[in-house]
A and B are shown apart, each in its own frame.
Chain A
């Protein structure tokens, strides 16, 4: 190539899968149908298999992983117990490393759940491909404002008598939710005014992302111990994240309000997918909205299995741009609902 003249080059970024709003997908859309079928396949695997439905849930939290069956199973008045615990369970040897890892009340809430969703999505994707589903399957997200208004469960997850799919149905939810009625208050639980997007700082109690601590197992003790001033959570983690968990999982038996049982409900993953989307919206909506540049945040490593049961440990630094490998996804909508305000 010599100098002089004109050279023209295309720049096409690597392909990404698009995470879509489940409210825009018909119940018989392959994305929805194969989500249910993959879950059934994962449920058929034993809890000792990292690719099983129960193992994936236990990564979030698990009661008494070294305890007796009596300690693990549901007893009256206890929320955080394993509804499927049985004598025949063979718990995996690596549970001490990979289970009960969920990060709440910390600035790792968003990146940890992004990594969690990423591995889960890839595992489901492989199941979908095995079952002959779409090769570019991506986890859909649950935008709490659907075509029928604010605060209803997506049709596909409702009671099958109300048009839902059996594979995506869990009866341990708010009855109104499963019946397709409004079950969440738009202002209080859904945060229809998007106050969660308004903080201009990531780190800190009451800021967007949460205080600079690391915790284990639900709201376990912080490591290292912290002064009380650092207790609390980011705004997004509180409402809508926590508020909607509690609303879907209204007592007495709702799974979504328990750290242990929430991931056993298929809506959990769609709910967190929307939380993950709101992180992207927050980042894009203002030039000054920035993730932490602290290495303590960027380079903190979290233990995971990948889709091959191999090493899937990841750090927040690796998940800042969802369009890059290995994440390779993006949302079909990241417009700022506040219009830059």
Chain B
């Protein structure tokens, strides 16, 4: 994952990225002799040493409300900040790199609306970070956002669930408790920990929104036309999620700026200040579409309109596009397993415990017809594990088990034993698969065997028998399939559809209730 040009990624989760920027060569200072009435001022350039990106998935759609999962990423920020601290030469106490927060919106909507939204998202993150040291300021900022965005029952319920506070708790108390709980126990930031040290009452230099001026990805004309033709904008909005992000930069320890000289307008101000900082061809950079190829900042470095932002982020590992990998977990009869405990191992990395999305199994007897450990109904978003990768891995090893009856959100994950010699014995997960991630989509013939493998058709040593088993299971669903063991076009298409939708046909034994 390391790259000389792009720095180093430290953590990559579904909700965020932390990374260290590549070293910048500091030019030697040339100082001329000065007379008694003159003096030399030597200033180091403003250099970001590390970055922390909060992905769109940590916000509700078109909102600045952050989800409880943000706590994971704040822990990563705390670790990153510690890693880039240095002892004060005078006092020996640690100096931490000061922060500045940049919000970004996607290109849908007007510049002005997006300037305001991206500013609110940056403000929301800033408020969370200072909420332990400066709760009144933080609550004040969230109240303004809540009023602007008309937060209501949904946000309140999320906050109550997360904090355990009852109905009727005043907003101030609820906001404060929720924001503070997102921070790790030993982590607390003050206004002084930011780049302008809170010198400006409205946060100039400490947090700002960049509207839609710095897209990481611009769809091709063809992709855009397809998205626009479709009435349902879900696909477009999902693809655009890479552009909706909040970037927090960590600057060299000791860096401090004067808000009066800071180029970015305040989070609440108009776009005019931004546009002054554009490249001369800034409008083209941020909007030009190629006929059938997406433009990515990661590839060509020419999609940001703001020259100032580009200078800070050109080689940032956090602006490199990452891929979200989702894996949906099933049992051997192809029933999805919401809430399944699992252990994810990407190549060369430590195994990482997690749980699949969805509600825990209902205790026996409470929900007739939905036995524990199995799921008859349930949403297609259930039973999914999500993570981010910088490059697509060929395979990811996943071990998982059915959730046990009566397990809830606080139930511990199965223990991981450091028993390398005998991992099967040590880990105790029921299922163990190398899931193929990098599938040659363009070559549907070559793509079929790995797809069949992901769908569990592996019991026979030869492909023909596995294909035949798939054909037998799928005949009823895809009428045009003949059970002949060959990868003919209808079979290939059926495999592709089943795989893409993560919707396997139930296998023999699926009528049996398996109790765990």
Measuring CB to CB, which residues of chain A are less than 8 angstroms from any residue of chain B? 1, 3-18, 20, 135-136, 283-284, 287-288, 290-291, 293, 298, 317, 320-321, 323-325, 328, 330, 332-335
Contacts and interface: CB of A to CB of B under 8 A. Distances in A.
29 contacts: A1-B439, A3-B390, A5-B324, A7-B323, A7-B437, A8-B326, A8-B327, A8-B384, A10-B328, A10-B330, A11-B433, A13-B330, A13-B331, A13-B430, A13-B433, A15-B508, A17-B509, A135-B508, A284-B428, A287-B414, A288-B415, A290-B426, A298-B422, A323-B431, A332-B514, A332-B515, A333-B514, A335-B404, A335-B515
B504 A12 contact: yes
Contacts of B239: 5
A287 B427 CA distance: 9
Interface stretch (B125-133, B159-167, B453-461): B453-461
Contacts of B298: 3-4
Contacts of A335: 404-405, 515-516
B417 A290 contact: yes
Given A1-B441, A14-B456, 19 more contacts: A1-B392, A4-B296, A4-B322, A5-B239, A9-B326, A10-B454, A11-B433, A11-B454, A13-B432, A15-B456, A15-B507, A283-B428, A287-B414, A288-B415, A298-B425, A317-B422, A323-B332, A323-B431, A333-B514
B318 interface: no
Nearest to B509: A18
A11 B330 CA distance: 6
Contacts of B322: 3-4
B387 to A, nearest CB: 11
B321 A12 contact: no
Query: Do most interface residues of chain A lie in helix, strand or loop, or is the interface mixed?
Result: loop
From A12, A18, A323, residue with most partner B Cβ within 10 Å = A12
B181 interface: no
Contact of A333 (B435, B454, B507, B515): B515
B258 interface: no
Interface in B414-465: 414-415, 417, 419, 421-422, 424-426, 428, 430-433, 435-441, 454-456, 458-459
A12 B428 contact: no
B260 interface: no
Contacts of A323: 332, 430-431
B502 A8 contact: yes
B435 A9 contact: yes
Contacts of A15: 332-333, 456, 459, 507-509
Contacts of A4: 217, 242, 294, 296, 298, 321-323
A7 B386 CA distance: 10
Contacts of A135: 508
